[in-house]
Structure 1
Amino acid sequence: MTTTAIIADDEDLPRKELRRMLADQWPELRILAVCEHGADALEAIQEHAPDIAFLDIRMPGLSGLDVANAVKGRCHAVFTTAYDNHALEAFSAGAIDYLLKPISPLRLQEAIDRLKQRFATQQTAPDISQLMLELDKRLRTPAAERIRWISASVGDTIKMFPVEKILFFSSDEKYTRVVSSEDEAHVRKSLKEIIDGLDPELFWQIHRSIVIRADAITRAHRDEMGKFTVELRGSKEKLKVSQAYAWRFKAM
């Protein structure tokens, strides 16, 4: 039976190099899709149901961690990363594998051997939800460097939003909307820039364009199609949760 995989990395050279190395060291492995973004990777996994997903940990929009959480148990995840070993201490031995960039042939062969062993013994892909949460925390901005205030220009006025008062952020292509229980404004800063400065225990991403304050959640509602919306204390808006982040609410 042929083993199948997808590759996801937002950088062209690492993506091509991993595919070349896999062709050399595991020629019978069939690559079903090569993706530039996490959203593409999620779609490829849903369409092709590969045995393995090689995922870059950090990609624009959906990260490799987000993709792995969305499809947990459906395929084996191998993460590629340029982060140092301190962050990678979050990986439990043998649960999942990672490849530190630039990837060495020896390290890749070790990962291949482990994967082949899992398939030979018919091991199912492990549930890595808690592991992903821990790794995500370690890769976030240190507490000393986190955002404390968001400032937004509205005409001749500068509005100041303390982070602890903000309920959610939502973005379009040019602006990010900042909403508190008392006011709102738009800032010329990408959601990704803002996310990197937030405490991951207090702020949850629930959609590629929405980040909410977790302790402001009053309810999460699942409709007949299995899709979630959330409501926040101090806001009348119902915010959509994309499939990639629905795992946060499955136990609610």
Structure 2
Amino acid sequence: MHATALIAEDEPLLAANLQAELMRRWPDLEIVACVGDGASALERSLDAQPDIVFLDIRMPGMSGLDAAQALIEDWPDTGRPMPLLVFVTAFDEYAVDAFERAALDYVLKPVQPERLARTCERLQNALRARARTVGSGMDTALEPMIDRLRGLLGTADRTAGAASAVEPLRMIQASAGNTITMIAIDEVIYFEAADKYVRVMTEDREHLIRTPLRELLPRLDPARFWQIHRGTIVRADAIASASRDETGKLTLSLRRHPAKLAVSRLYMDRFKAL
């Protein structure tokens, strides 16, 4: 069975080992790219649109989970289905348990041939099932995949939160030149990632901070601040309305602020009443 795949693994020897084992188990699998970080995995996956993406969980910069989330959010609406996702992880009973409960496939490293053989069989069956639905419009596997990934991310977030009880943020310190501005968390309307900074938006000003969103999120009250995109967190009571366009994309309008914020498919379940 011919198929294409991309491998994202930051350890070259492990990447070469995985590729060699895949060639033994699945000779007709074409490896279209082998990259060492999450950002490259996202870029090359969007460009090559492979059938399968193997993602190491821990990579420099963007993690495998972050890359998967971005891939789901940024996948073009061209009719071609998203790649099947397989996560690569060092043996960890908690991570493996999370994958099993989320029904997402995974490969342990160092590569275990018997486990990889089961993964290849599952992938081939999934691709055959997908081929039978070609021409039916939306990929019916996409929504369950998003739900499973969200569950996995939620498990990881809860585990991290339990491991380190962090004091909730009450003030944000934003520096500009020689001045440090103190911003009460109640004044923040939304946070938005912007290159190496995060924009902190209040009713009348924009501030820049260097703390990444992934470090901010655990210190924000989840009942008050909602993540609506991998690069956007909004204060829930600042949302005035949410509207869908004809393609199903969801956009938020805010109270006392002109910005329009896009909601990714990964977080649309917050607005199921629409």
* Comparing 97-106 and 195-204, the one that deviates more: 195-204
For the residues of structure 2 that align with 1:83 and 1:195, how far apart are their CA atoms?
27
Supply the distance in 2 between the matched residues of 1:69 and 1:36 (Cα, whole angstroms): 21
Provide the rounded CA distance (Å) in 1 between the counterparts of 2:2 and 2:81.
19
1:238 aligns with 2:260: yes
Q: How many residue pairs are counted as aligned between the two chains?
A: 247
Measured at CA, do residues 110 and 170 of structure 1 come closer, stay the same or move farther in structure 2, by a change above 3 Å? Answer: same
Higher mean C-alpha displacement, 63-72 vs 126-135: 63-72
What residue identity is the alignment partner of 1:180?
A: T
> Which one is further off, 133-142 or 46-55?
46-55
Match of 1:115 among 123, 132, 142: 123
Structure in which a larger fraction of residues adopt helix: 2
- Is this contact kept in 1: 2:103–2:148, CA < 8 A? no
Moved more, 25-34 or 131-140: 25-34
Question: Residue type of the partner of 1:2?
Answer: H
Q: Which has the higher contact order (CA 8 A, sep 6+)?
A: 1
Secondary structure at the aligned position of 2:258 is classed as coil
Instruction: Give percent identity, aligned residues only.
Output: 35
Give the C-alpha shift of residue 31 in structure 1: 1.2
Cα distance in 2 for residues equivalent to 1:235 and 1:131:
34
The correspondence for 1:128, drawn from 142, 145, 148, is 145
Which residue type is aligned with residue 6 of structure 1?
Answer: L
State the partner residue of 2:136: none
* Shift in Å, 1:69: 6.0
Q: C-alpha displacement at 1:136, in angstroms?
A: 0.9
In structure 1, what is the Cα distance between the partners aligned to 2:234 and 2:95?
25
Matched residue type, 1:81 = T
1:189 counterpart SS class = coil
Q: Deviations over 1:76-128 (max 9, x none)?
A: 22112348332443435694311234433332222123223444566874622
Instruction: Give TM-score scaled by structure 1 length.
Output: 0.73
Deviation at 1:130, TM superposition (A): 1.9
CA change 1:198–1:20 in 2 (3 A) is farther
The answer on whether the counterparts of 2:102 and 2:148 sit within 8 Å (CA) in structure 1 is: no
Q: Unaligned stretches of 5+ in structure 1?
A: none
Which SS does the other structure have where 1:89 is aligned?
A: helix
- Report matched runs for 1:1-252 at 5 Å: 1-9=1-9, 11-13=10-12, 14-38=14-38, 40-57=40-57, 60-61=61-62, 62-68=66-72, 74-82=82-90, 84-92=92-100, 95-119=103-127, 125=141, 127-140=144-157, 141-142=160-161, 144-145=165-166, 147-148=168-169, 149-154=171-176, 158-163=180-185, 165-181=187-203, 184-195=206-217, 197-198=219-220, 202-206=225-229, 208=231, 210-214=232-236, 216-222=238-244, 229-240=251-262, 245-249=264-268, 252=274
| Cα distance in structure 2, aligned partners of 1:33 and 1:200 | 38
TM-score, normalization: structure 2? 0.68
Contiguous gaps of at least 5 residues in structure 2: 133-139
